[in-house]
Chains A and B, each alone.
Chain A
Amino acid sequence: MLYEYDGSVEVARPNCVVFPRTTADVLAIVKLANQYQTPLVGRGAGTGLSGGALARKGGILAVFSRMNRILEIDIENQRATVQPGVVNADLSAAVAHAGLHFAPDPSSQKACTIGGNVSENSGGPHTLAYGVTTNHVLSLEAVLPTGELIRIGSSALDSPGYDLLGLFVGSEGTLALITEITVKLTRLPEAVKTLLAIFDTLDDATETVVDITARGITPAACEMLDGWTLRAVEAYVHAGFPLDCAAVLLLEVDGVAEAVQQHAEEVADICRAHRAREVRVARDARERDLLWKGRKNAFGAVGRLSPTYYVQDGVIPRTKLPATLRRINEIGVKYGFQIGNIFHAGDGNLHPLILFDARDEAQFRGVVAAADEIIQFCIEMGGSITGEHGVGMEKDRLMPLLFSEADLDVMRDLRAAFNPQGLLNPDKIFPSKKGCGEIHVRPLPLAGAPSA
């Protein structure tokens, strides 16, 4: 059934699926879960990429798709209050008339929900300049697995006391079920320029990224697609990407018109200084949308080429981009997989796509080993195991690579303070203590994740 899956390669079957419509429904569901001592997992649109919204231990799956009302829009104060099932792009559409938007923009924004964004602390291409979800959330109403209804944070800034909001946003559904969210709305920039820089070598492209930052320019977005991915995308989307290059950078600068003009010229100059074969500037909104369509549909395009692929989500300091991409390429050769690279270059957030055939068990084992080797390299570079997809059930076993048992114990204690019986979203984020070091056997993966 549908709710066994999300955007990741994991599968888990709940015993039942419920669709709350109100906070009272959620309270009643939590009461039931307590009464029957059954696991309970919250879920939005199921676009997650780390298995965060899968019922790993069975039990009740609470799907928030029907709690999808925008409760209040306050244009003057640039605030909105929404139910968790509101689709990310719908909120931005609802406030566009006032020149505002909700800044976090995951590539799945046409489907993913704001409740899911809050749980996962989602990013997106424009988080380079605008920040991730946690930078835009002001207040939450939530139901604790103990049945308490709580409200944390406030519409006014600097809510007194501990920053509980900072703890709950990004807690991957392990502390509470969110029932209401107040977010900041951000003014849309006056001017935007989107550039596409085309390179004949990967190194030229990655070194351009390093140099743009070194010159003190913070683009609104800085995305990279390697040549292989680009050809897959072009065959699918026809965005006008060149077929014979090694990499492209999709760069966006925004702000007041006078600054945008200058920054666009500077960025183009830096690209040319690094031997960009061509720098195209989108002439109008249509051309800009086409370039972004290529980026945002890349995962779908790759899905046409392979029965299965595995999207990784590593982070490295951006100066390590050239070395890391070379290493990923070597790992692909070593294990015999085609690896495509499409990622948020500006903040060093990589998304290697490893193509494989899940029906072949040897390949499955190989893809896990290759992915682990990539993540291991990210850590050696001073990076992290996930930049925006979350730990979920995908990377719990990798947590000890970054955190000591003492670090993890504090986090586990925090979880236990709010989720004392572990009924809510069990077996996520933290490796089970007994199974430390042992690699769990993954269920067979599914084809095609929607997006990143």
Chain B
Amino acid sequence: MTSSAFSPSVTSRLSEIVGATNVASDFAQLATYEIDRKLPAAAVRPGSSEEVAEIVKFAAAERLALVATGARTKLGIGCAPTRYDLALDMTRLNKVIAHDPGDLTLSVEAGVPLAKLVQILAEHRQFLPLPVPFANRTTIGGLIASGVDSPLRQFYGTARDFLLGMEYVTGEGVATKSGGRVVKNVTGYDIHKLMIGALGTLGVITRVNFKTFPMPLATRGFIARFAIAENALDMRHRIARSALTPLTMEILSPRVAELFGSDAATRYERAPMPGDVISNTEWALTTGYAGNEQVLDRYANELKRLARESSATGVTILSENLPPAWARKREFIPIALASSPATTIVKISVLPVRMKEAIAVAQKAAELNDLRWAAMARGLGIIYFAILPSDHTEQWRQRVTTAASAIQEACAKLAGHATIPWAPAEWKTTLQIWGPSRPDAAQMQKVKSVFDPQHILSPGRFAPNL
């Protein structure tokens, strides 16, 4: 672990802004803010967006690199920060500013936990379609900044599709905003979209406005099992051509059953996985849908027919036992991370009809290098391919690096791309975390220099120069 202490004048200025009780500089506390083996010199907990702006302004003047944090569940995403002086703990900004059930809009501070919103919205039979990994702990700011997706993107899209506006602090410490609080708005540039998935490299998110959605009527799940991936994907294509519009659709590889049944999985979902719905030796297509009784019957019948046409070996319909199975699907990444001491997750994105080749390539790359693996593929063409090495040693690093770069190369040839959002800290310098350099890198650089000219916001987490 590396960290260096601040001079007393820096600490006293930080205390002046947020109060001494909200500045932490002892090792035990700082250890909880670790990012890829790096510790900050201090952690500060601002209580308002004004305080955030003051801290950032001060950091910019002193050239202190800062990383905004929430529940600290996703700080492992991306590269290690090149510099990390200050952790900006946003969890005190935890107010729900407004929920207007009749307008289906919501305005919250960045530190509000997603779980709290789930509760508040449920009272009005509404919800945010964001069942993302670490759902029980993640804050809204962290969810947005990390750009994680959820099974519900099949129907509802990603946060970018229902984020209405945002307040954020630039790298120069200026509190500013974009968008608004109404569901339709084309006033000014959509800067809030730039902040999604930017890992805090463009601004510190302080407030977020969302569109909310009416809770669907009864939901059901359908699982079909297949001997080979090709058949599961064939069913995916048949559903895409049908009139059905399921809410979720994931294809699970063999071994996901083992992961979902493990002790590690119970950390994220206590209720046991329903038995026998997925198997360790087979592929599965899992899909969720909602509606009235007739709609549910229609889905069940059509899905059974499509599964048969795609040579399924068996099907299961989930109703009361749906939540524990679905929670595991939501938590695939954390469960995979907990399933090996050196889990490396390759996120592959290709056009839907190319998924067959992409999965085959990844499987081959892993097996050629004697690597255990498990995969979850979303119906829209995103594949989370988890490589599960036995340990951190050099031998495994080499194997994982060889496999990951083979996958990345092959995906580029398939007109797609593959990044490595999660990997052991020690391996990040030899892996191409964000894939090969992109032709639009120069444009991203322009954006970065507008928001963070001093390079103090999460420097290096995205790319060396972003």
For the complex, count residues of B whose C-beta is within 8 A of A: 80
Given the interface pairs A156-B350, A156-B415, the reply to whether A256 lies near B186 with Cβ below 8 Å is: no
Q: Beyond A256-B244, A319-B100, A403-B177, is A159–B191 a contact (Cβ under 8 Å)?
A: no
Asked whether any CB of chain A lies closer than 8 Å to the CB of B17, the reply is: no
- Establish whether residues A135 and B353, one from each chain, have CB atoms under 8 Å apart when the complex forms: no
**Are the CB atoms of A161 and B184 closer together than 8 Å?**
no
Q: Which residue of A is nearest B188, CB measured?
A: A411
Interface segment out of the listed B249-257, B367-375, B444-452: B444-452
- Smallest CB separation, A210 vs chain B (Å): 6
Question: Is there an interface contact between A391 and B187, defined as CB atoms closer than 8 Å?
Answer: yes
Partner of A258 from B197, B215, B294, B434 at Cβ < 8 Å: B294
Nearest B-chain residue to A402, judged by Cβ = B187
Q: List the A residue with the shortest CB-CB distance to B449.
A: A417
Q: Among A383, A385, A410, point to the contact of B451 (Cβ < 8 A).
A: A410
B residues less than 8 Å from A150 (CB atoms): 439-440, 443
Q: Which segment, of B43-51, B101-109, B306-314, faces chain A?
A: B101-109
B125, CB-defined interface residue at 8 Å: yes
Interface residue stretch chosen among A10-18, A59-67, A71-79, A87-95: A71-79
Stretch at the interface among A21-29, A101-109, A164-172, A358-366: A164-172
Of the 9-residue stretches A33-41, A310-318, A325-333, which lies at the interface with chain B?
A310-318
Contact of B438 with A131 in the complex, beta carbons under 8 Å: no
B131 to chain A, nearest CB (A): 17
For B196, the chain A residues whose CB sits under 8 A away are 163, 166
Which one of A166, A210, A415 has the greatest number of beta carbons of chain B within 10 Å? A166
Nearest chain-A residue to B447 (Cβ)?
A162
Task: Report A160 CB to chain B, min CB distance, Å.
Answer: 5
Among A195-203, A238-246, A291-299, A343-351, the one that faces the other chain is A343-351
Is the CB of A255 closer than 8 A to any CB of chain B? Answer: yes
Contact status of A410 and B349, CB under 8 A, knowing A158-B382, A161-B440, A418-B446: no
Q: Is the CB of A348 within 8 A of B183?
A: yes
| B439 near A151: Cβ-Cβ < 8 Å | yes
Can you list, as one digit per residue, whether each of A99-132 has a CB less than 8 Å from chain B (1) or not (0)?
0000000000000000000001101000100011
Most buried by A among B185, B351, B444: B185
Does B285 interact with chain A (Cβ within 8 Å)? Answer: no
The answer to whether B243 has its CB under 8 Å from any CB of chain A is: yes
A385 and B415 alpha carbons, distance in the complex (Å): 40
Cα distance A347–B184 in the bound complex, in angstroms: 7
Q: How far does the alpha carbon of A385 sit from the alpha carbon of B449 in the complex, in Å?
A: 29
Does A181 have its Cβ within 8 Å of any Cβ on chain B?
A: no
Known A-B contacts A156-B351, A213-B104; the reply to A389 vs B419 at CB < 8 A is no
Across-interface contacts of A383 in B (CB, < 8 A): 180, 182
Is B361's beta carbon under 8 Å from chain A?
Answer: no
* B5 at interface, CB cutoff 8 A: no
User: Given B170, B417, B446, which contacts A160 in the complex, CB threshold below 8 Å?
Assistant: B417
> A402-421 vs B: 1/0 string, CB under 8 Å?
11101111110111011000
User: Which residues of chain B come closer than 8 Å to A120, judged between CB atoms?
Assistant: 186
In the assembled complex, the CB of B375 is this many whole angstroms from the nearest CB of chain A, namely 16
The answer to whether residues A417 and B149 also contact, given A158-B382, A317-B182, A390-B186 and a CB cut-off of 8 A, is no
Q: Is B34 in contact with chain A by the CB < 8 A criterion?
A: no
Question: Which chain B residues in 217-272 approach chain A with CB under 8 Å?
Answer: 237, 240, 243-245
The answer to whether A156 touches B417 (Cβ under 8 A) is: yes
A77-B352 contact, Cβ under 8 Å, with A158-B149, A163-B196, A417-B446: yes
Contact B189 A156 (CB under 8 A): no
Q: Is B214 an interface residue (CB 8 A)?
A: yes
Which chain B residue shows the least CB distance to A263? B292
In the complex, how many angstroms separate the beta carbon of B134 from the nearest chain A beta carbon? 19
Q: Which residue of A lies closest to B244 (CB)?
A: A256
Chain A residues within an 8 Å CB radius of B450: 410, 413-414, 417
Q: Which residues of chain B come closer than 8 Å to A306, judged between CB atoms?
A: none
Q: B13 contacts the other chain (Cβ, under 8 Å)?
A: no
**Distance in angstroms between the alpha carbons of A163 and B189 in the assembled complex:** 12
- Neighbouring A residues of B170 by C-beta, 8 Å: 410
Distance of A174 Cα from B197 Cα, bound (Å): 24
A279 at the interface (CB under 8 A from B): no
Write the nearest CB–CB distance from A38 to chain B, whole angstroms: 24
| Inter-subunit contact B183/A410 (CB<8 Å) | no
Measured between beta carbons, the chain B residues less than 8 angstroms from A127 are: 184
B435 beta carbon closer than 8 Å to chain A: yes
A163's partner among B194, B438, B439 (CB-CB below 8 A) is B194
Measured CB to CB, the closest approach of chain A to B264, in angstroms, equals 26
Q: Give the residues in chain B near A399, CB-CB below 8 Å.
A: 187-188
The answer to the question of B175 belonging to the interface, with a C-beta cut-off of 8 Å to chain A, is: yes
Pair B382/A218 contact, Cβ less than 8 Å: no
Of residues 234 to 275 in A, which have CB atoms within 8 Å of B's CB atoms? 255-259, 262
Contact of A406 with B190 in the complex, beta carbons under 8 Å = no
B462 within 8 Å of A (CB atoms): yes
- In chain B, what residue has the closest Cβ to A157? B349
Closest to B450 in A: A413
With a CB–CB cut-off of 8 A, which chain B residues contact A315?
Answer: 180, 182, 184-185
| Complex Cα–Cα for A389 and B186 (A) | 8
Would B191 and A384 count as touching, CB distance under 8 A? Answer: no
Contact B245 A255 (CB under 8 A): yes
CB distance from A424 to the nearest CB of B (A): 14
Asked if B19 is at the interface (CB within 8 A of a chain A CB), the reply is no
Q: Which residues of A are found within 8 Å of B237, using beta-carbon distances?
A: 76
The 7 A-B pairs with the shortest beta carbon distances in the complex, nearest first, are A166-B193, A216-B214, A190-B243, A317-B103, A319-B102, A258-B294, A417-B446
5 A-B pairs besides A166-B196, A187-B245 with CB distance below 8 A are: A152-B440, A255-B245, A399-B188, A413-B450, A414-B447
Q: List, sorted by A's number, 6 A–B pairs whose CB atoms are closer than 8 Å.
A: A162-B444, A163-B196, A167-B190, A315-B182, A414-B450, A429-B188
